[in-house]
């Protein structure tokens, strides 16, 4: 067993790495929950007899109770992790087992004792020909190869080895050999599983000449939006979404729509709330999944709840979905990953077609999510026969123009790079806007802080003077989005207020402004204010990227963050 603290690439430097022998292996990059990042706390963890090794993604909530029990039976612990109870519990049950398949039964008995979430891989020197895996509320996929098989928590990680996957459900087990895979239900009855083919191009999970995945994924946005629109839209014809297929009577029966998600996916909900509300005349509440799940929300059969998740594996979003379902709501999953957990839980699933997103900072997933949610809003509106056809047709034309308009932005990135060079040493930046420009300001601010580590906040422009303007001074940059001509005069007054207090200004706009009044103006094409976040976010993504590059940071793997947040 070899392990170390730090980046995966450091594994190459561990003494003994070249002399590792064997044909099966397990590995895990730990995201520290219990115990600081250190070699002792890294995975795999072994039992005291060194017969069983385990890697685990998730959180064992009752680990203190289990550890106390195991200590009373004479077991010692070397780490501060919750995970270390698992191999020791397996050893404990293994020594009591008399069944034919002692290894599998011992793993199951250990898992029966665990509370919380887990996806685990177990190997044993006593059974050197296979790996046992299982999951509960944490993701795990099994990739089928040719005389070799793979295990991972998500598909993109092993896409270059196979495109054929089995998806394990909660409390199912698999024994993985090089030439066969056996599946079991929660009671260890053998079951068969459907092999799914994922048609993602494996090169889409590679950098293809770009310096970083994030930059590549920003440049993939026109295509991701185009693929997400697919054949769903045509001018003059009602949208048909086979995935949802709702009737007018059903949509008339609901009194509110929830959009629930985390981080960027939640921001995609904020960016489409007004479109859905105005076009359908139904209240739309956008909520953070980790809040929704714990506050007994007012949800019943008259609620339609939409859960948005790029990965489809975000623990809080899955828990929120289960809650809404248990309260009688109809649930829709909007995800980028076919067969992901959220899509298996929801009543209906509909996909963005952004292709694999590898960089931790979400870019093409956001613009695809906003596009798809807008299409869903139009579909509801047409089914309800709520809005004027010409009005809907104009929005459809704007949606179809999005790929070209995003490409226009990408043709013009150097000026953003230059402005990033001027401000990358700053410590505070503010993002402001009104209406949908405020919704997208929240996403712009998140992008900057997560990859550049610059403190940033987003504000509704009109709120600045209620407190935050006290922080505006020389050395602060204010990014301001102005894309709605009805709100532009108000936004411009707010910008004057920050200029007066010494801030630098970066304006993203489709209005004709007098450039010389501002430090940097980036022009985007005109579009319906309902869709403007899909354009205005792109310069903000690029700005965050170039600021982080100037600071020589790892943009694809920012500190403390994981691509899929599969723990609470």
- Chain residues binding ligand M6R by CB under 6 A are 262-265, 309-311, 314, 317, 360-362, 446, 450, 564-565
What's the min distance (Å) between Cβ of 21 and ligand M6R?
A: 37
What's the min distance (Å) between Cβ of 53 and ligand M6R?
A: 29
Do 188 and 173 meet the contact criterion of CB atoms below 8 Å apart?
yes
Q: What gap in Å lies between CA 268 and CA 371, rounded to an integer? A: 9
Closest CB to ligand M6R among residues 42, 204: 204
Closest CB to ligand M6R among residues 55, 262: 262
Closest CB to ligand M6R among residues 363, 532: 363
Closest CB to ligand M6R among residues 153, 510: 153
Neighbour order of strands in the sheet with 477-482? 455-460, 428-433, 477-482, 504-509, 520-523
Query: Measuring CA to CA, how many Å separate 42 from each of 5, 7, 33, 128, 204?
Result: 7, 12, 11, 22, 30
Helix (H, G, I), strand (E, B) or coil at 335: strand
What's the min distance (Å) between Cβ of 359 and ligand M6R?
A: 8
Closest CB to ligand M6R among residues 504, 557: 557
Helix (H, G, I), strand (E, B) or coil at 502: coil
Q: Closest Cα to residue 138, out of 28, 64, 52?
A: 28
Q: What gap in Å lies between CA 138 and CA 56, rounded to an integer? A: 9
Closest CB to ligand M6R among residues 176, 262: 262
Indicate the pairing of strand 196-197 with strand 164-167.
antiparallel
Closest CB to ligand M6R among residues 180, 559: 559
Residue 562: count of CB within 10 angstroms of its CB: 14
Q: Extract the tokens encoding 182.
A: 């056996």
What's the min distance (Å) between Cβ of 126 and ligand M6R?
A: 38
What's the min distance (Å) between Cβ of 541 and ligand M6R?
A: 9
What's the min distance (Å) between Cβ of 173 and ligand M6R?
A: 26
Closest CB to ligand M6R among residues 265, 395: 265
Report the half-sphere exposure of 457 (CA within 13 A, side-chain side).
12
Closest CB to ligand M6R among residues 111, 358: 358
Closest CB to ligand M6R among residues 265, 527: 265
What's the min distance (Å) between Cβ of 363 and ligand M6R?
A: 8
Closest CB to ligand M6R among residues 143, 444: 444
Q: For residue 60, what is the enclosing H or E element?
A: strand 52-60
Q: What gap in Å lies between CA 563 and CA 200, rounded to an integer? A: 18
What's the min distance (Å) between Cβ of 319 and ligand M6R?
A: 12
Give the residue carrying structure tokens 């080895």. Answer: 161
Q: Closest Cα to residue 434, out of 497, 485, 391?
A: 485
Closest CB to ligand M6R among residues 144, 447: 447
Q: Closest Cα to residue 372, out of 243, 256, 471?
A: 243
Q: What gap in Å lies between CA 120 and CA 98, rounded to an integer? A: 23
Give the residue carrying structure tokens 């290894």. Answer: 103
Closest CB to ligand M6R among residues 331, 564: 564
What's the min distance (Å) between Cβ of 307 and ligand M6R?
A: 9
The 3 state secondary structure assigned to 256-294 is EEEEEECHHHHHHHHHHHHHHHHHHCCEEEEEEHHHHCC
Q: What is the DSSP string of 107-161?
A: HHHHHHT--EEEEEEEEETTEEEEEEEEEEBS--EEEE-SS-EEEESSSGGGTTT
What's the min distance (Å) between Cβ of 537 and ligand M6R?
A: 11
Query: Measuring CA to CA, how many Å separate 559 from each of 6, 31, 211, 400, 555?
Result: 11, 11, 19, 37, 9
Provide the 8-state DSSP code for 170.
T
What's the min distance (Å) between Cβ of 450 and ligand M6R?
A: 6
Closest CB to ligand M6R among residues 267, 405: 267
Do 461 and 432 meet the contact criterion of CB atoms below 8 Å apart?
yes
What's the min distance (Å) between Cβ of 201 and ligand M6R?
A: 20
Q: Extract the tokens encoding 354.
A: 């952004």
Q: What gap in Å lies between CA 47 and CA 94, rounded to an integer? A: 11
* Closest CB to ligand M6R: residue number: 263
What's the min distance (Å) between Cβ of 312 and ligand M6R?
A: 7
What's the min distance (Å) between Cβ of 233 and ligand M6R?
A: 24
Q: Closest Cα to residue 435, out of 361, 536, 522, 348?
A: 536
């Amino acid at each position: 067993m070899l392990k170390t603290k730090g980046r995966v690439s450091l594994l190459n430097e561990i003494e003994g790495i070249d002399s590792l022998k064997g044909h099966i292996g397990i590995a895990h990059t730990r995201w520290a929950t219990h115990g600081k990042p250190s070699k002792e706390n890294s995975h795999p963890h072994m039992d005291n007899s060194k017969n069983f090794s385990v890697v685990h993604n998730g959180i064992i909530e009752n680990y203190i109770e289990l550890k106390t029990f195991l200590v009373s039976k004479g077991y010692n612990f070397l780490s501060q992790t919750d995970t270390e109870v698992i191999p020791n519990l397996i050893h404990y049950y293994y020594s009591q087992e008399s069944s034919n398949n002692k290894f599998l039964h011992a793993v199951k008995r250990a898992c029966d004792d665990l509370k919380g979430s887990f996806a685990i891989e177990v190997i044993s020197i006593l059974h050197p020909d296979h790996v046992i895996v299982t999951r509960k509320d944490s993701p795990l996929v099994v990739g089928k190869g040719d005389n070799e098989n793979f295990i991972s928590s998500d598909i993109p990680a092993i896409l270059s080895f196979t495109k054929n996957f089995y998806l394990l459900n909660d409390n199912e087990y698999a024994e993985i050999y090089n030439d066969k895979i056996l599946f079991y239900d929660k009671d260890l009855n053998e079951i068969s599983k459907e092999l799914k083919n994922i048609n993602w191009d494996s090169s889409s999970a590679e950098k293809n000449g770009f310096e970083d995945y994030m930059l590549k994924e920003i440049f993939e946005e026109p295509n991701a939006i185009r693929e997400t629109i697919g054949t769903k839209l045509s001018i003059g014809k009602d949208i048909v979404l086979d995935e949802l297929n709702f009737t007018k009577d059903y949509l008339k029966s609901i009194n509110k729509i929830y959009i629930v998600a985390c981080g960027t996916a939640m921001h995609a909900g904020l960016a489409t709330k007004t479109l859905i509300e105005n076009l359908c005349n139904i209240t739309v509440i956008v909520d953070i999944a980790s809040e929704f799940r714990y506050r007994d929300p007012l949800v019943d059969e008259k609620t339609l709840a939409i859960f948005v998740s790029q990965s489809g594996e975000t623990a809080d979003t899955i828990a929120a979905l289960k809650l809404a379902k248990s309260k009688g709501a109809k649930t829709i999953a909007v995800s980028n990953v076919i067969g992901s957990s959220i899509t298996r839980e929801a009543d209906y699933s509909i996909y963005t077609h952004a292709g694999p997103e590898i960089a931790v900072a979400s870019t093409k997933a956001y613009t695809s999510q906003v596009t798809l949610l807008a299409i869903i809003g139009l579909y509801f509106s047409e089914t309800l026969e709520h809005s004027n056809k010409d009005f809907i047709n104009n929005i459809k034309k704007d949606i179809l123009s999005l790929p070209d308009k995003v490409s226009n932005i990408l043709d013009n990135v150097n000026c953003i790079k230059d402005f990033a060079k001027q401000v990358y040493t700053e410590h505070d930046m503010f993002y402001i806007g009104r209406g949908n420009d405020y919704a997208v300001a929240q996403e712009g601010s998140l992008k900057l802080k997560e990859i550049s580590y610059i403190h940033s906040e987003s504000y509704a422009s009109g709120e600045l003077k209620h407190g935050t303007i006290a922080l505006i001074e020389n050395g602060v940059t204010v990014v301001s989005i102005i894309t709605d001509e009805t709100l532009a005069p108000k936004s411009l007054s707010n910008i004057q207020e920050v200029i007066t207090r010494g801030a630098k200004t970066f304006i993203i706009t489709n209005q004709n402004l007098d450039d010389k009044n501002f430090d940097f103006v980036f022009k985007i094409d005109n579009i319906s204010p309902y869709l403007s976040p899909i354009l205005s976010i792109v310069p903000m993504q690029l700005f965050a990227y170039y600021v982080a590059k100037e600071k020589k940071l790892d943009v694809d793997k920012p500190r403390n963050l994981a691509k899929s947040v599969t723990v609470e």
